[in-house]
Amino acid sequence: MKFKSYLFTVPSLLLSLAGYSGAVFSAQKLTFSQDILPIFEAKCLKCHSDEKQKGELRLDTKEWILKGGESGDVLIPFKPEYSDVYVLAALPDYDPDYMPSKGKGLTPAELETLRSWIQQGAQFEVESAETAAEASMDMTIQQAHPTQTEVKSQVKIKQVSYQLKPNEKAAIEQLKQLGVKVDHVHYDQSKYELILSYAKLNDDNFPQQSLIKLADRLTKIDFARLPIGDASLASLTKLSKLSYLDLRQTKITDKGLAHLNDLPQLEYLNLYGTSISDHGLAKLNNLTQLKSIYLTNTRVTQQGIKKLVQRYPNLKVSYIAS
């Protein structure tokens, strides 16, 4: 049986941002029918359309894509980093969750097209002449102040003015030597995301100091499948910018969960396949930004989830009861 509670709204602020980035980077918006469907046809639909629906997911029409798969939404407009259609295809191809699970993966250019499409708001059809005219009027208004060139040069300044401090550089080198994948986040070149899943790490050699040195820059960390527990969780509390934390299939317990309350920016929390129970969930009481939580294959019950959602009414919970 499935229990899902989700409430996702696209704030109008983001819609206006989309228009804004359109003015800066390109006038032409990507659409599903023109730009994405051909990629999905070549690489995904064999397993995700009318014949087969692996993961209970179809990717051939707007309606099916918005319906999501067995673990919930797969597309979150404007948020490629939270959209599984993109995230799974962007994993390293040796990851067990990598998509496609068989056959040729997406090329870097195809991945970038998919990412940009979601980033721009995941439009499905080419705009009709009328809406296109409206959109271009919006753009003219935005361009009047500041002008397009001004915006461009501001963007440029932002890119060159960012520089790593020596201790930040050293921390990145140390992490890389441990086998940690260090990347910029797509939406902000001055921020970083880490994938630690393939590093040989546990609580005893946890790179606490390197993470703390990078505290101002770390927005996403993926610890999936590492044998780390509560001791390591306790050392994350200084990462005040962290918005995305994947702890799936780690050894964390209810006891450690209270530490997460010290992460004021946390929006995404994956606890899939951990020993967390209602008891641990009850400790999450200070995460004002939390938007999305994954609880399948844990010991939580629907009762515990109900209480959680009472505290966080806009939270999207992914949970399939076993």
Q: Determine, following the binding rule CB under 6 A, whether residue 74 of this chain makes contact with ligand HEC.
A: yes
Q: Determine, following the binding rule CB under 6 A, whether residue 89 of this chain makes contact with ligand HEC.
A: yes
Piece in contact with ligand HEC (CB under 6 A), picked from 99-107, 120-128, 201-209, 219-227: 99-107
Q: How far is the CB of 302 from ligand HEC (least distance, A)?
A: 19
Q: How far is the CB of 220 from ligand HEC (least distance, A)?
A: 18
Q: Determine, following the binding rule CB under 6 A, whether residue 224 of this chain makes contact with ligand HEC.
A: no
Q: How far is the CB of 295 from ligand HEC (least distance, A)?
A: 14
CA distance 70 to 173: 38
Q: How far is the CB of 102 from ligand HEC (least distance, A)?
A: 4
Q: How many residues bind ligand HEC (CB under 6 A)?
A: 23
CA distance 279 to 255: 9
3-state secondary structure string across the chain: CEEEECCCCCCHHHHHHHHHHHHHHCCCCCCHHHHHHHHHHHHCCCCECCCCEHHHCCCCCHHHHHHCECCECCCCCCCHHHCHHHHHHHCCCCCCCCCCCCCCCCCHHHHHHHHHHHHCCCCCCCCCHHHHHHHHHHHHHHHHCCCHHHHHHHHHHHHHCCCCCHHHHHHHHHHHHCCCEEEEECCEEEEEEEECCCCCCCCCCCCHHHHHHCCCCEEEEECCCCCCCHHHHHCCCCCCCCCEEECCCCCCCHHHHHHHHHCCCCCEEECCCCCCCHHHHCCCCCCCCCCEEECCCCCCCHHHHHHHHHHCCCCEEEEECC
Piece in contact with ligand HEC (CB under 6 A), picked from 3-11, 83-91, 208-216, 221-229: 83-91
Q: Determine, following the binding rule CB under 6 A, whether residue 100 of this chain makes contact with ligand HEC.
A: yes
- C-beta of residue 87 within 8 angstroms of C-beta of residue 81: yes
* Residue closer to ligand HEC (CB basis): 89 or 221: 89
* Residue closer to ligand HEC (CB basis): 102 or 145: 102
Q: How far is the CB of 29 from ligand HEC (least distance, A)?
A: 20
Q: How far is the CB of 44 from ligand HEC (least distance, A)?
A: 3
Site string for ligand HEC, 39-58 (x = CB under 6 A): ----xx-xxx-----xx-x-
Q: Which position has the token pair 């020993």?
A: 275
* Residue closer to ligand HEC (CB basis): 84 or 254: 84
Q: Position 236: which residue type?
A: L
Q: Determine, following the binding rule CB under 6 A, whether residue 106 of this chain makes contact with ligand HEC.
A: yes
CA distance 95 to 91: 6
Among 85, 218, 228, 242, binds ligand HEC (CB under 6 A): 85
Q: How far is the CB of 68 from ligand HEC (least distance, A)?
A: 6
Q: How far is the CB of 48 from ligand HEC (least distance, A)?
A: 5
Among 9, 12, 63, 102, binds ligand HEC (CB under 6 A): 102
* Residue closer to ligand HEC (CB basis): 19 or 273: 273
Residues that bind ligand HEC (CB under 6 A): 43-44, 46-48, 54-55, 57, 68-71, 74, 84-85, 88-89, 99-103, 106
